[in-house]
Amino acid sequence: MGQSTRGIYPNKSNNTWEVDKWWRGERFRQRGLVSYEEAERWLIKQLADKREVVLHGVRQARIFDSVAAHYLLTHQDKASLETEAYMLESVMPFIGRLELPQIHDATLAPYVAARKKEGRANKTINLALGVVRRILNLAATVWRDQDGRTWLDAAPKITTLPLVGHQREPFPISWGQQRKLLPLLPDHLARMALFVLNTGVRDDVVCSLEWDWEIQIPELGISVFDVPREHVKGKKRGRLVVCNSVAQSVIEAARGQHPRFVFVYRRERKTNTDKAPLMKYRRIQTMNNTGWQNARERAGLGDLHVHDLRHTVGMRLREAGVPESTVADVLWHSTRSMTQHYSTAQIVELHGALEKITADSGAWNKSLATLRAEHQARKAGEASPPKVPTRALERVA
């Protein structure tokens, strides 16, 4: 092999090679290279590119995986950062080693094809493409080198997949389905689901809910939570979570468990229950976990999403005759201007609306998705032996 190049080292734990070299105050690092020759070629190219930048003012070549890492490090306050990191992890095997100008529809096509083969929805694929597009746009407009040049000359137009005909219909649940689902959920998830069904908040908001956001209103005997805008979709402004009597009872049951987060979980002892718990209370990252998926299957609710609980709140509010503008405020869909700080009248209005959905009113109101599922169940029952229809109905109820 001759004289070795400084900065290239073997990784004996996995039989690969690594580069770790400083040149003119910049560090060049790369792992997982299959041979010394590949590591040397990689380092020579990086140094050559850097010399062109220094000597001739050429824009430095940047690899997508390092740029994506920079994006995650500089956006750590984003509420959706964990989701975006997961999306980037899925796309890295396809474009992670490419330079920024090499990323476009053609180089992303294998990723799209692979995700479709896995059965991923177009909306899910578009979320990942959106993160890639966001990073490239920042590289072309915001991030600059020491000479003021942007990291990328121009961001490519990345084509997303069509959603018409590919989006899943909302599936609000009935009171009967709610009574079937909640007992099957782990206790901590049941409490969170009940809170969502009485407030309409998103999964990421209920998982992030903090005691410091709580404002108690003795006149109404309830609490509201002033959610900072970084936890609100769109991040235009902070929004308010108003508790009705059921949501308030959930809050009171959680009080004192954790100094910061409202909804937490810990693993309890099944033996020696008189001893201290095995683990401290910790934050729940998402409701859509194994416990949720197992419970919805046992309840015969198919692919019920956590977000469907939010749709359920919207349907029940409309069923109770709540005005559309108030429904929009509850669900944070409002387009009308609101004061920077909610007035007492607004809080009373929202609380009164949410009190109307604390119990089954007996009113008949079903979504199109529910009606279609019941129709399919009846058709399945007509074509099956007598003992099958009951189970078929339970499966799609």
Give per-residue pLDDT as tens, 306-322. Answer: 999 999 999 999 989 99
Structure tokens belonging to residue 336: 């009308």
Q: Is the pLDDT score of 339 beyond 50?
A: no
Confidence at residue 46, expressed as pLDDT on a 0 to 100 scale: 80
As a whole number, the mean pLDDT across the chain is: 84
Confidence at residue 388, expressed as pLDDT on a 0 to 100 scale: 33
Do residues 230 and 78 make contact, with C-beta atoms less than 8 angstroms apart?
Answer: yes
Q: Lowest mean pLDDT: which of 7-11, 26-30, 204-208, 387-391?
A: 387-391
Please give the average per-residue pLDDT across 89-105, as a whole number. Answer: 94
pLDDT category of residue 368 using cuts at 50, 70 and 90: low
CA 169 – CA 191 distance, rounded (Å): 25
pLDDT category of residue 253 using cuts at 50, 70 and 90: very high
Please give the average per-residue pLDDT across 101-125, as a whole number. Answer: 92
The pLDDT > 70 percentage for the chain reads: 84
Confidence at residue 396, expressed as pLDDT on a 0 to 100 scale: 31
Which CATH fold would you assign to the domain 175-365?
Answer: hpI Integrase; Chain A (1.10.443)
Half-sphere exposure of 134 (CA within 13 A, CB side): 16
Q: pLDDT of 177-192, one tens digit each? A: 999 999 999 999 999 9
Please give the average per-residue pLDDT across 257-286, as a whole number. Answer: 83
- DSSP H or E segment with residue 26: strand 26-33
Confidence at residue 218, expressed as pLDDT on a 0 to 100 scale: 87
Please give the average per-residue pLDDT across 213-242, as a whole number. Answer: 85
Structure tokens belonging to residue 309: 């609980």
CA 353 – CA 347 distance, rounded (Å): 10
Please give the average per-residue pLDDT across 376-381, as a whole number. Answer: 72
Confidence at residue 337, expressed as pLDDT on a 0 to 100 scale: 46
pLDDT category of residue 94 using cuts at 50, 70 and 90: very high
pTM of the model: 0.60
pLDDT category of residue 338 using cuts at 50, 70 and 90: very low
Q: Is the pLDDT score of 10 beyond 80?
A: yes
Confidence at residue 347, expressed as pLDDT on a 0 to 100 scale: 86
Domain extents in the chain: 8-56, 64-141, 175-365
Confidence at residue 264, expressed as pLDDT on a 0 to 100 scale: 95
CA 286 – CA 310 distance, rounded (Å): 15
Nearest CA to 320 among 348, 279, 361?
361
Confidence at residue 367, expressed as pLDDT on a 0 to 100 scale: 62
Structure tokens belonging to residue 362: 């007996």
CA-to-CA dists, residue 197 to 99, 312, 338, 349, angstroms: 46, 7, 24, 18
Q: Is the pLDDT score of 7 beyond 70?
A: yes
